[in-house]
Chains A and B, each alone.
Chain A
């Protein structure tokens, strides 16, 4: 249908050989050699509900629907994977559903930062501890975007412009309120102090990018995948990426720039870092073999060429984790969000 982008990502051998079950796996894609067949004692006995704690069209939704497509296309599961949007209450609807279905191995959920922010901001009673962590699929980047016909060349110039202007005259568009985009905005305001942004919350990442193209806001911190199309079309330009190091993707996205050409915010004089978890969780109280099945399933998904292309398109930071390593990471991320939100005054009463 179209020329796929060539893949130049990370080496995938680092994701240790997962054991293969007897399920017929479409030949091409699979990595691991057959390991001891004993590990795959369990597999789903009915359709698996793949819950998306966000609305349609956003980053989590795109990834989940993409995974569903890959699983179906490569016959990675005997039972179908059914995606279900439960984005009500900033995702609380989806997370409460998982919390409620304790012990049920036929529910999985994809997470975004609202796993941490929603309970702190709204006081809805759930946390990541009410779920079983399965695996981290990737970390999503945040990039500071401005319309391409603005004069700013580096992030520092933009920050200085905000500093020089009237208080609140610069508008930052973002997804939702008291969530990741606003947390980053608050972090940026440390640098623009005493001037602040006017943060304008919108429904979804795609809308935010479009609002920036239409110049209804001055800047956004869209995820790469939400804004890449507008970047290619020459409507938006990236100033810096909120990560410790530059992206590894060197394939040109526009005529003269690749993801790897976007400087980190730190090197352009703006010391702020933030990344968003794209991970999978299950209901509480499931057995280790249930978790093992899904860890293995996602390893297979990640081994496909489709997944690699998807990762590059969205300039994802490819980091895979499961087990204790993932648990430790999630606990640390939870603490980080608590601290950031406390500092910004976003915590609900009693939190």
Chain B
């Protein structure tokens, strides 16, 4: 289903889809340590578990869940995005200011193009190419793909991780390891299904799940250095979300993704009208589709798992051979987004930016997250403000939006609070230099 964006994410640090970005945090370090097969097995298995749980959920709770999704208005959507951004703060290893700077740059890039609220163009400066804004895919291909190749070239023309051994029993060994993380799996499934249905989508789900896992894990400090739990959490959540996102499509007729839209078109040609009546009028079709989701997931898992040693072996190919291939594939990928050469140049531009970011120690994920979700968050915020005629109380106007916002606030202040407590414990210094944290919080909001 969604599996094949994973290999480049883990092997080369080039996420193929927005929801694979969080997987690179620990997946790629694992590959660098020669544990690519473990990382791939963990990722594939987790995505299977997530998708399976979501399908089971759809099977038993579809009508109930459809009702829940209807409660989501603009304020609720914004609160979900807010929660995603909040759970991200303090997650990075580096300085929170750098996270913030990267995120703000992402917001700025995300706002280029048509402003859907007023129907006017923003920051296109008369260039028609900028009408469509900065596409996530082009940014990610450039920032991660080209950026990674540039820094690999600098560090002596090789990917670290070439020592990857081909172990045929890696799958079984990893499975033994994975059993230990059942709590993380369950938590990630809940986050994923919830985000898929609401429908916040797979990308916020993966980031949020990673953030939570890091916070609650005993080995949370090791996250980002190749912790297998850091692969399990985002993968499970992303695929639980991706699968359960089909539910709004079937029950409400809203395709949550381009893939779902193609499926929607397929339904139309058979005279099937997605929406609340589909489950009543077209029982055969709906249950057939759900059955195929079970089968598809199992078949997918078997296919990818048998290929794990093969995928992992790609890292043994010398850099001088694989790098040009990656470069060509990146360029082709960027071109196909809008069939435009301009995007290829833009990709190279982002590549340089990615390299500079890496050199200066600025994190890329906040930038990417802000490009993907920034304009959606802005849109929901302004829709909510229109509806409430400018009153912020709408974000605490019912139990649903209120609890999500409060949870977001807690997550946002969590690093600040723990930092303050530590500070107080360590040495009772006079005035607490809280300005730093407060600034972060202000800008976030």
Please list the residues of chain A having a beta carbon within 8 angstroms of any beta carbon in chain B.
1-2, 4-5, 56-57, 61-62, 65-66, 68-70, 73, 83-86, 88-90, 92-93, 96, 121-125, 168, 171, 176-179, 198-204, 206-207, 209-211, 213-214, 216-217, 226, 228-230, 232-233, 235, 306, 309-310, 313, 346, 348
Q: How far is the CB of B127 from chain A (nearest CB, A)?
A: 11
Q: How far is the CB of A120 from chain B (nearest CB, A)?
A: 10
Chain A residue numbers with a CB within 8 Å of B72 are 214
Chain B residue numbers with a CB within 8 Å of A200 are 74, 383, 386-387
Asked if A62 contacts B271 (CB within 8 A), the reply is no
Chain A residue numbers with a CB within 8 Å of B272 are 1-2
Task: Please give the number of chain B residues whose Cβ is less than 8 angstroms from any Cβ of chain A in the complex.
Answer: 53
Asked if A229 contacts B275 (CB within 8 A), the reply is yes
Segment at the A interface, from B82-90, B138-146, B247-255:
B247-255
From the candidates B73, B264, B269, name the one contacting A306 in the complex (CB within 8 A).
B269
From the candidates B74, B277, B284, name the one contacting A216 in the complex (CB within 8 A).
B74
Shortest Cβ distance from A235 into B: residue = B276
From the candidates A61, A178, A211, A226, name the one contacting B73 in the complex (CB within 8 A).
A211
Known: A168-B389, A200-B74, A346-B119. A66 touches B131 (CB 8 A): no
In angstroms, Cα B119 to Cα A88, docked, is 12
In angstroms, Cα B120 to Cα A178, docked, is 9
Q: Is B128 close to A, CB under 8 A?
A: yes
Q: Which of B131, B258, B266 has the most CB of A within 10 A?
A: B131
Chain A residue numbers with a CB within 8 Å of B268 are 62, 65-66, 69, 310
Q: Is B121 close to A, CB under 8 A?
A: yes
Instruction: Tell me the residues in window 151-209 of chain B with beta carbons closer than 8 Å to chain A beta carbons.
Output: none
Q: How far is the CB of A57 from chain B (nearest CB, A)?
A: 4
Known: A201-B383, A230-B276. A69 touches B269 (CB 8 A): yes
Q: Is B113 close to A, CB under 8 A?
A: yes
Instruction: Tell me the residues in window 103-139 of chain B with beta carbons closer than 8 Å to chain A beta carbons.
Output: 113-121, 128, 131-133
Asked if B264 contacts A57 (CB within 8 A), the reply is yes
Asked if A57 contacts B389 (CB within 8 A), the reply is no
Chain B residue numbers with a CB within 8 Å of A93 are 131-132, 338
Please list the residues of chain B having a beta carbon within 8 angstroms of any beta carbon in chain A.
69-74, 113-121, 128, 131-133, 248, 252-255, 258, 260-262, 264-266, 268-278, 281-282, 284-285, 338-339, 379, 383, 386-387, 389
In angstroms, Cα B282 to Cα A310, docked, is 17
In angstroms, Cα B276 to Cα A229, docked, is 6
Please list 24 pairs of residues, one from A and one from B, whose beta carbons are closer than 8 Å in the complex, sorted by A's number: A56-B261, A57-B254, A57-B260, A57-B261, A57-B264, A61-B265, A69-B268, A85-B258, A89-B121, A90-B114, A93-B338, A122-B120, A125-B128, A200-B386, A210-B69, A210-B70, A210-B248, A214-B73, A217-B387, A228-B275, A229-B276, A306-B269, A309-B271, A348-B120
Chain A residue numbers with a CB within 8 Å of B128 are 92, 96, 124-125
